C-alpha cells in the first residue's frame, strides 16, 4: 500500500474477520477514519497493550489522539448506543470530542426498529409449517431502520434530532403506523407515545449536536487539504444486501461498493482496498455455509479462535477456508491486497483443508461463488488438503520465522486469489502482526 493514498478495509467473508485490528494498525498512516455502512450490528475489537476495546458505531481509529473519525451518511445510528460508546471510551481515558463527526443525513435507529427486528425474527422462526425462516439478526434494528430510509416519509435522520418541533410532528404519524405494525407482529406493548419519544430523542440530539454535521462537505474539504482517509467497512461482502448470500445478509452495501453512496466520495478516492479474511471461515446467524464443520473440527476452531460474537456473544459457526467465496468477494470489492487473520488458530492441525470449488447437484463443479442462498445450500465443498504445522506462531513477527507449512498455506491462498498477502495476523495485539 502506498502512503498518501486512501485505503478501504473490507471483510471478505461473513464478518468478524478482524477488521478492527487492521483499521487500528492502518490508522497510523491515515488522517481520517470513516464508517460508511451498517450500524451497531458491527462489533470491531481492538487490543492495545492489555486493553481490549469493542467498537460498534465509532470508527476504530478513535483510539489515536490526532485522527478525525467520521460516521458517514450510509450508517444507521442508534443514538443510545452511540452515547454509551462515547461515555465508555471517555471513562477509559480516550478523547471523544471534536475528533468525532456524525452525518446529519445518517438515519436514526429508533426503539421501535429494535422491537420490530426482534418481533419479525420471532415470527419468522415460527413460520407455520415452513420451519425456521429467521435470519438470525443481531436485533439491533438495522433492517427496519434501513427499510424506513427507503420508505422515506417515516424515516428520521440525525439532523432531525436537532429540530424538536419537526421531530414531534414526524413521530406523531410514524408512531401510529409503527404501533399497528408491531401489534400485527404480535407485540403486546402500550401505544408508542410520540411526545415522550420526541422529548427523549431531542435530548440525545442536544447531547450529540457538537458532533452532527454535513460530513459529505467535511470529507471533500479534508480531501482537498491533502488528508488521507481510511474507510472502515462493517459487516462483510458476503452479507452485502446486493452481493451476499441473500436473504441471509444484512441491509446495507457492506462491500467496498457501499463506500461512495455511504460517504459522498466518488470512486476515484479509493486507491487501496485491503480485503480482510480469516485463515478459516466463520458465520453468525442463519444461511448457507458450504465449508462449515459441525463436528469436532468446528468446535476446535471455535475454542482456539474464541469464536463468540463481539456484539451478541453468540457462538460463531466455524469451518475451513472457502476460497471460492473469498475470491468472489475480492472481485466485488476490487481488492488490491489481502490481510490473512487468525493464522495462529490453525496451529496444531495435522491437516488443513481449503475449499477450492463446489460440487453442484447436477454433478458439475463450479469455481464461481453462488450468491443465492437456496442454491448455495445445495453446493458441496471440494477440498484440497495441505499439511498443517505443530508450532505455535503467536510470537512470530517476520515471514521467514513462520513454519514452512504455514508459508505454503499462505502461498496457496495468494496463488488462488491472484493477490498479494500484505499482512498476516497471528494474535489480537498490534505487535502480533507479520507485514
Binding mask 388-427 for ligand GDP (x = CB under 6 A): -------------------------------------xxx
Q: Which of residues 16-55 bind ligand GDP (CB under 6 A)?
A: 16-21, 43-45, 47
Q: Out of 9, 274, 277, 284, which residue is the one contacting ligand IMO (CB under 6 A)?
A: 284
Q: Does 140 bind ligand IMO (CB under 6 A)?
A: yes
Q: Which of residues 296-315 bind ligand GDP (CB under 6 A)?
A: 305, 310
Q: Does 269 bind ligand GDP (CB under 6 A)?
A: no
DSSP 3-state of 158 = helix
In angstroms, how far apart are the furthest CA atoms of the chain?
66
Q: Are 341 and 278 in contact (CB under 8 A)?
A: yes
Answer with the entry of Mg ion, ligand IMO, ligand GDP, none that 341 interacts with (C-beta below 5 to 8 A by kind): ligand GDP
The residue (of 11 and 298) whose beta carbon lies closer to ligand IMO is 11
Answer with the entry of ligand IMO, Mg ion, ligand GDP, none that 235 interacts with (C-beta below 5 to 8 A by kind): ligand IMO
The residue (of 159 and 290) whose beta carbon lies closer to ligand IMO is 290
Q: Are 324 and 357 in contact (CB under 8 A)?
A: yes
User: Distance (Å, rounded) from C-alpha 39 to C-alpha 36?
Assistant: 9
Residues that bind Mg ion (CB under 5 A): 16, 43, 310
DSSP string over 326-342: HHHHHHHHT--EEEEE-
| CA angle, 139 then 143 then 145, to 5° | 100
Answer with the entry of ligand IMO, Mg ion, ligand GDP, none that 103 interacts with (C-beta below 5 to 8 A by kind): none
Binding mask 221-260 for ligand IMO (x = CB under 6 A): -------------xxx--x----------xx---------
User: Distance (Å, rounded) from C-alpha 114 to C-alpha 137?
Assistant: 11
Q: What are phi and psi of 197, to 5 degrees?
A: -65, -40
Q: Are 14 and 307 in contact (CB under 8 A)?
A: no
| CB 338, min distance to ligand GDP, A | 13
Distances in Å between the Cα of 193 and the Cα atoms of 23, 79, 182 are: 41, 18, 14
User: Distance (Å, rounded) from C-alpha 155 to C-alpha 116?
Assistant: 14
User: Distance (Å, rounded) from C-alpha 100 to C-alpha 69?
Assistant: 5
The residue (of 146 and 328) whose beta carbon lies closer to ligand IMO is 146
Active site (catalytic) residues:
16, 44
| CB 45, min distance to ligand GDP, A | 3
| CB 250, min distance to Mg ion, A | 12
| CB 148, min distance to ligand IMO, A | 14
Q: Which of residues 342-381 bind ligand GDP (CB under 6 A)?
A: 342, 344-345
Tell me the three cell numbers of residue 92.
Answer: 477509559
Q: How far is CA 60 from the centre of its chain?
A: 12
Alpha helices in 377-427 (DSSP H): 404-417
Site of interaction with ligand IMO (CB under 6 A)? 11, 14-16, 41-44, 135-138, 140, 142-143, 234-236, 239, 250-251, 284-285, 310
Amino acid at each position: 500500500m502506498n502512503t498518501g493514498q486512501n485505503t478501504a478495509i473490507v471483510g471478505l467473508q461473513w464478518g468478524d474477520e478482524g477488521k478492527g485490528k487492521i483499521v487500528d494498525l492502518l490508522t497510523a498512516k491515515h488522517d481520517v477514519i470513516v464508517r460508511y455502512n451498517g450500524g451497531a450490528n458491527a462489533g470491531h475489537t481492538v487490543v492495545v497493550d492489555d486493553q481490549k476495546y469493542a467498537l460498534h458505531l465509532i470508527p476504530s481509529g478513535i483510539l489515536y489522539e490526532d485522527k478525525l473519525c467520521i460516521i458517514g451518511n450510509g450508517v444507521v445510528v442508534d443514538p443510545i448506543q452511540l452515547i454509551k460508546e462515547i461515555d465508555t471510551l471517555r471513562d477509559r481515558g480516550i478523547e471523544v470530542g471534536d475528533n468525532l463527526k456524525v452525518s446529519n443525513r445518517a438515519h436514526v435507529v429508533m426503539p421501535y426498529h429494535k422491537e420490530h427486528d426482534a418481533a419479525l425474527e420471532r415470527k419468522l422462526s415460527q413460520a407455520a409449517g415452513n420451519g425456521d425462516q429467521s435470519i438470525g439478526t443481531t436485533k439491533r434494528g438495522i433492517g427496519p431502520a434501513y427499510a424506513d430510509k427507503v420508505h422515506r416519509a417515516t424515516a428520521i435522520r440525525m439532523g432531525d434530532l436537532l429540530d424538536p418541533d419537526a421531530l414531534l410532528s414526524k413521530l406523531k404519524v410514524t408512531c401510529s403506523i409503527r404501533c399497528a405494525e408491531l401489534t400485527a407482529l404480535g407485540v403486546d406493548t402500550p401505544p408508542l407515545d410520540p411526545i415522550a419519544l420526541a422529548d427523549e430523542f431531542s435530548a440525545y440530539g442536544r447531547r450529540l449536536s457538537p458532533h452532527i454535521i454535513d460530513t459529505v462537505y467535511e470529507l471533500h474539504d479534508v480531501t482537498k487539504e491533502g488528508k488521507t482517509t481510511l474507510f472502515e467497512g462493517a459487516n462483510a461482502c458476503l452479507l452485502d444486501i446486493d452481493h451476499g448470500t441473500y436473504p441471509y445478509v444484512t441491509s446495507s452495501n457492506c462491500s467496498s461498493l457501499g463506500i461512495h453512496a455511504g460517504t459522498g466520495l466518488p470512486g476515484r478516492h479509493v486507491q487501496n482496498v485491503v480485503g480482510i479474511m480469516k485463515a478459516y471461515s466463520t458465520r453468525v446467524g442463519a444461511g448457507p455455509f458450504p465449508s462449515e464443520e459441525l463436528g469436532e473440527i468446528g468446535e476446535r476452531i471455535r475454542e482456539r479462535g474464541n469464536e463468540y460474537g463481539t456484539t451478541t456473544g453468540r457462538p460463531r459457526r466455524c469451518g475451513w477456508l472457502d476460497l471460492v467465496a473469498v475470491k468472489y468477494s475480492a472481485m466485488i470489492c476490487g481488492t488490491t491486497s489481502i490481510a490473512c487473520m487468525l493464522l495462529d488458530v490453525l496451529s496444531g492441525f495435522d491437516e488443513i483443508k481449503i475449499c477450492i470449488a463446489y460440487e453442484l447437484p447436477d454433478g458439475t463443479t463450479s469455481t464461481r461463488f453462488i450468491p443465492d442462498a437456496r442454491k448455495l445450500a445445495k453446493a458441496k465443498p471440494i477440498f484440497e488438503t495441505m499439511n498443517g504445522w505443530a508450532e505455535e506462531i503467536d510470537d512470530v513477527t517476520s515471514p521467514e520465522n513462520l513454519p514452512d507449512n504455514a508459508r505454503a498455506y499462505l502461498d496457496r491462498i495468494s496463488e488462488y486469489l491472484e493477490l498479494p498477502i500484505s499482512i498476516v495476523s497471528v494474535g489480537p495485539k498490534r505487535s502480533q502482526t507479520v507485514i
